Amino acid sequence: MNISVNPDWWKHLFDEVYLLTDARSVCDQEITRREVDLICKLLPIKPHHRILDLCGGHGRHCFELYSRGYTECTILDYSAYLIDQAECQASEKNIPIKCICSDARNTNLSSESFDHVCIMGNSLGYQKGSESDIEIMKEANRLLRRGGWLIIDVTDGDYIRNCFIPNSWHEVGNDILVCREREIVGTYIHARELVINKKKGIVRDENYSAQLFNVKLIENLFVSAGFQNILVSDGFSPHQKKGDYGFMNHRLIGIGRK
Residue 246 binds to ligand SAM (criterion: CB under 6 A): no
Kindly give, in sequence order, each residue whose CB lies less than 8 Å from that of residue 250, ignoring residues fewer than 6 positions away.
Answer: 155, 156, 159, 160, 234, 235, 236, 237
Judged by beta carbon, residue 155 or residue 214, the one nearer ligand SAM is: 155
**Between residue 10 and residue 39, which ones bind ligand SAM under the rule CB under 6 A?**
10, 14, 26
Q: Which of 28, 33, 95, 103 binds ligand SAM (CB under 6 A)?
A: 103
The number of residues in the chain equals 258
Residue 121 binds to ligand SAM (criterion: CB under 6 A): yes
For 153, the 3-state DSSP assignment is: strand
Q: What angle do CA 32, 233, 221 make, to 5 degrees?
A: 95
- Side chain identity at 200, as an amino acid letter? K
Judged by beta carbon, residue 48 or residue 142, the one nearer ligand SAM is: 142
In the complex, residue closest to ligand SAM by CB: 121
Q: Which of 120, 144, 152, 252 binds ligand SAM (CB under 6 A)?
A: 120
- Side chain identity at 60, as an amino acid letter? R
Q: Which of 126, 159, 222, 227 binds ligand SAM (CB under 6 A)?
A: 126
Residue 87 binds to ligand SAM (criterion: CB under 6 A): no
| Site string (45-84) toward ligand SAM, x via CB under 6 A | ----------xxx--x----------------xxx--x--
Distance in Å, CB of 207 to ligand SAM, minimum: 16
Mark out the alpha helices in the chain (DSSP H runs): 16-21, 23-26, 29-42, 60-67, 80-93, 131-143, 157-162, 215-224
Judged by beta carbon, residue 120 or residue 217, the one nearer ligand SAM is: 120
Residue 245 binds to ligand SAM (criterion: CB under 6 A): no
CA trace torsion 218, 38, 100, 123 (10° rounding):
30
Judged by beta carbon, residue 10 or residue 227, the one nearer ligand SAM is: 10
Distance in Å, CB of 39 to ligand SAM, minimum: 11
Distance CA 163, CA 167 (A): 12
Residue 122 binds to ligand SAM (criterion: CB under 6 A): yes
Q: Are 15 and 193 in contact (CB under 8 A)?
A: no
Q: Are 63 and 95 in contact (CB under 8 A)?
A: yes
Residue 133 binds to ligand SAM (criterion: CB under 6 A): no
Backbone angles phi, psi at 31, to 5 degrees: -65, -45
Distance in Å, CB of 33 to ligand SAM, minimum: 13
Mark out the alpha helices in 174-224 (DSSP H runs): 215-224
- Side chain identity at 36, as an amino acid letter? V
Judged by beta carbon, residue 182 or residue 199, the one nearer ligand SAM is: 182
Site residues (vs ligand SAM, CB under 6 A): 10, 14, 26, 55-57, 60, 77-79, 82, 103-105, 120-123, 126, 136
